[in-house]
Amino acid sequence: MSELSDAALVTALRRQMTIAAARQVIAAGNLANVNTPGFRARQADFETALDASLRQPLAVTHPAHLRSEGAGSVAAKDADGLPARRDGNTVQIDRELLEMTSAGGEFQRAQTALAAKFRLVRYAINEGR
């Protein structure tokens, strides 16, 4: 069994929160264009986002510091397989609301795990006092 370092855990949770937030933004953009003729619904492109985050080297401002900047934007692509209405629009309100709810839950779970990790660190620091 391999151990997960604190830095790797925080990085993974940050990445999860960034992707969840991007999914919500994309769904909100789709909903904003629900009445735009010819608008094609978009979805997050996870493969491109994962490839970009894995290729991106760890940027540091000081040798002892970890990168603190955001993970960057998540790419979006046209959603495949959605039927178009007569005006050519492919946005489905129910699908977008479900996507926003799902992404919100993922963000909240990652945020809860990150808060628990920081509570443990705070407890360890204050233990000696």
Q: Where are the domains of the chain?
A: 6-126
Paired tokens of 34: 């629900």
Instruction: Provide the pLDDT confidence category of residue 46 given band limits of 50, 70 and 90.
Output: confident
What is the DSSP-derived secondary structure letter of residue 17? H
Q: Pick the residue with more confidence: 56 or 86?
A: 86
Go through the chain and tell me how many residues it has. 129
- Check residue 70 and give its pLDDT: 44
Instruction: Provide the pLDDT confidence category of residue 14 given band limits of 50, 70 and 90.
Output: very high
pLDDT above 70 coverage of the chain, percent: 75
Q: What average pLDDT does the segment 29-43 reach? A: 96
Hunting for tokens 């609301």 — which residue is that?
Answer: 97
Instruction: Provide the pLDDT confidence category of residue 69 given band limits of 50, 70 and 90.
Output: very low
Q: Rounded to an integer, what distance in angstroms lies between the CA atom of residue 103 and that of residue 22?
A: 9
Q: Which residues of 82-106 are buried (b: 16+ CB within 10 A; e: fewer)?
A: eeeeeeebbbbeebbeebbeebeeb
Instruction: Provide the pLDDT confidence category of residue 116 given band limits of 50, 70 and 90.
Output: very high
